[in-house]
Structure 1
Amino acid sequence: MRLYLDFKHLLLLAELADTGSMVETAERLHVSPSALTHRLREAESRLGVLLAARDGRHLILTPAGRSLAKAARSLVQDLYNAEQAAKRIGQGVTSLVRMACGYYNDYRWFPAVVKSAAAIDPGLQLELVPHVWDRPLAALEANDADVIVFPSAEPPVGFWSVPVLQDELVLVMAPGHPLEATTAVEASDLISHSYVNYWFANHPVSGFEYDRFFGPAKIIPNQFYMLHSLEAVLELVKAHLAISILSRWAIQPQLDAGTLTARPLTRDGIPIVWHSVARETSRDNQAVVLVQREIASSFAVTAKSRKPGETGQVALSLPSANLRT
């Protein structure tokens, strides 16, 4: 098998597809623009096809160039993964599980998982994956992570989902807010209040307050705002500037500290369940099985630490039947 291009040509095309600029690509690759221009012409000469064409200030890849760039990205990622695997082997690491927390980015459960997993399997390395908190299922499908913990109304279809914590959506407010006197909040109670929504995903997520609280009542607060930052939402609520609807477990530290207070939604409440989710094919991966089990155990400890008689107290569902050892 004869290859006409070297790795340096493929790397150039992969970066050029992202930047559309020879100057910016040169900065990324720490090579002069003139050297990259020569490299591009060399690749085109070897293949006998045009790979990029100038459009004003930008270099646009041709269909042939885009095809090579797509393959180059995959190759670069595979090589990076192989290098990291080689380094882990040299360090005595026998398996890797990439983890994340979806939607609320709450990692109170993580230290216990690290400690217990290391005691059981010293060769297991746990790695936190950034930038997937707003797209947990897409990240699993794209193989960007192996296990992601997040809340939902129903178990995700097509994945290996282990329920680890029974939770509920609650109205969150500052202590002393007029709605604090309400035992169960209805949508109509919020019409005249300033409401800030924690918009934790860039796409609609079913099973939360819109589908199960505002939607059935056909009511939306008159003053309605959306923020992508949970920290910003909490600060506005603490300052008596707004109220919000959030996961009780996610804000439990603030409730325990007395900086926030919460009330159930409707008399029946609106339950959600935190799941530890992996790809269905991971059921035979012993490292993922171990992590799933230890996540469940970590949430069990969290559940036991709740105050007796607390409204909306969590109840753990241990997934022993779903775990293979």
Structure 2
Amino acid sequence: MMSVLELRHLKSLLALAETGSVSQAAQRVHLTQSALSHQLKQLEAGYGLSLFERKTQPLRFTPAGERLLGLARDLLARVAAAERDLARIRQGEAGEIRVAVECHTCFDWLMPAMDQFRQHWPAVELDIVSGFHADPVGLLLSDRADLAIVSEAEPQAGIVHQPLFSYEMVAIAAREHPLAHKACWQAADFAGETLIHYPVPDEMLDLLRKVLLPTGVNPARRTAELTIAIIQLVASRRGVAVLPYWTVQPYLERGYVVARQVGDGGLQSELYAALRGEDAAQAYMLDFLQTVRDCSFAALPGLSPLSS
């Protein structure tokens, strides 16, 4: 009997399981929401079974859906492993990736991805260039790093940018803060506050670059090196901060602070991988980038894919 099941269906099921919604899953697999819904309905019609309980939030799989989801996790992992084996045969399996970062919160998602990548490519030396770097692309050009995590894909000779993901930045405040009752903060709400942020230049802070400075708002500042220190200062009503949602989620669950949307459409930030053009086609480099995306989307809430 000919099967109605294809790899694209399994990828869609896995995206649904990891995002919990059709709209976010559609972004992950680069389809419109209606196209993904149509694909899923065709799959259900082919089996004569419902795969999801659609009125639940997040979306919940039926027993039939769980069976196919288990197959997706198993088969897609085996397909990826086979393709890595073929890449090793074609290009070899040894190499080096020295990673430079410009963001303080990168390690929340970078370390798990590095751990998984080491299992895929044990002969590739993987390391983080120590310290915080305001110009990580400069390290690529001087051959002191092989890959840089950056927030903007600025065109530069000899450098290729690969999209990783987009994520939401949220404003956080103490639970009893006067702004805590507002669901959405505008630029003017920051005017009388002390903004607590990492000790980086203004052009590296999306809140300042995209929201505050264009409107002429430049609040008082205080800096802290560590995320937990920023959370503690905010919880003590020493100021407010804007951080990635995935970073603050554990503290929201514990009730230390509250999080609010910035601007009517939310404040979105992006992350890209910058690498030298001659390294862009290396099989282990491409797999490292895909491992970063896969691990991040599986573990971090509120991510969106970036187009190439």
| TM-score, normalisation: structure 2 | 0.61
Count of matched residue pairs: 213
Give per-residue Cα distances to partners, 1:190-210, cap 9 Å, x unaligned.
222232233324xx5267222
Q: Which amino acid aligns with 1:167?
A: Y
Within the candidate set 205, 218, 225, 2:221 is matched to: 225
- Structure 2 residue 301 is the aligned partner of structure 1 residue 315: no
- 1:258 maps to 255
The structural deviation recorded for 1:275 is 1.9
Counterparts in 2 of 1:195 and 1:107: CA distance versus 1, 3 Å? closer
Q: Which amino acid aligns with 2:250?
A: P
- Structure 2 residue 243 is the aligned partner of structure 1 residue 246: yes
Is the partner of 2:162 in helix, strand or coil?
A: strand
The structural deviation recorded for 1:227 is 1.7
Give per-residue Cα distances to partners, 1:11-37, cap 9 Å, x unaligned.
xxxxxxxxxxxxxxxxxxxxxxxxxxx
* Cα distance in 1, alignment partners of residues 248 and 275 from structure 2: 25
Is the partner of 1:252 in helix, strand or coil?
A: helix
Counterparts in 2 of 1:243 and 1:316: CA distance versus 1, 3 Å? same
* Cα distance in 1, alignment partners of residues 193 and 126 from structure 2: 44
Where in structure 2 are the equivalents of 1:236-315 lying within 5 Å? 236-303=233-300, 306=301, 313-315=302-304
Is the partner of 1:127 in helix, strand or coil?
A: strand
- 1:193 maps to 193
Where in structure 2 are the equivalents of 1:97-246 lying within 5 Å? 97-150=97-150, 152=151, 154-158=152-156, 159-201=159-201, 204-205=202-203, 208-221=206-219, 224-227=220-223, 229-231=225-227, 232-246=229-243
- 1:96 maps to 96
Is the partner of 1:131 in helix, strand or coil?
A: coil
* Cα distance in 1, alignment partners of residues 208 and 118 from structure 2: 41
The structural deviation recorded for 1:167 is 1.1
* Cα distance in 1, alignment partners of residues 249 and 165 from structure 2: 13
Assess if the C-alpha contact under 8 Å between 1:164 and 1:316 holds in 2: yes
Regions of 4+ moved over 6 Å: none
* Cα distance in 2, alignment partners of residues 261 and 161 from structure 1: 35
* Cα distance in 2, alignment partners of residues 166 and 248 from structure 1: 11
Is the partner of 2:183 in helix, strand or coil?
A: coil
Identity, in percent, stands at: 18
- 1:17 maps to none
* Cα distance in 2, alignment partners of residues 314 and 114 from structure 1: 19
Counterparts in 2 of 1:277 and 1:187: CA distance versus 1, 3 Å? same
* Cα distance in 1, alignment partners of residues 247 and 133 from structure 2: 14
Q: Which runs of 5+ in 1 are unaligned?
A: 1-92, 307-312
Whose radius of gyration is greater, 1 or 2?
1
The structural deviation recorded for 1:174 is 2.0
Counterparts in 2 of 1:258 and 1:102: CA distance versus 1, 3 Å? farther
Q: Which amino acid aligns with 1:315?
A: S
Aligned CA-pair RMSD: 2.6
Assess if the C-alpha contact under 8 Å between 2:99 and 2:127 holds in 1: yes
* Cα distance in 1, alignment partners of residues 196 and 258 from structure 2: 16
Is the partner of 1:114 in helix, strand or coil?
A: helix
